[in-house]
Structure 1
């Protein structure tokens, strides 16, 4: 599921918005396995984005064995 505020979206290039958000660069506040939180500027305003990356088969299998949805 994706939600993007209209005021924010209007300042992004219209092509692939998701790819634009994944490719952002800025000040990294946290970088752990599978996730990165960073601050960036767009149209003179400061924003934070939390980027998630694949979890891998090990994490999926662990969740299945614990009877949790992956």
Structure 2
């Protein structure tokens, strides 16, 4: 393993994440509301697990939530 010591003079700047836009925040909220509704439908056995997974996949494509890659464990 190779280690390099960085001094303040030769540090490179890493791109700071930008603040989410209003549209991104609204998409995030809409995604989570849709997923909550989807869970309720599945809990009441109105849709199957496979249908739930398919709809969830479509929700991720439609809303493009920011946090989903970190939090989602669905295919």
Choose 1 or 2 for highest CA Rg: 2
Give the number of the structure whose residues are more often strand, by fraction: 1
| TM-score over 0.5 (shorter chain) | no
TM-score (norm 2): 0.28
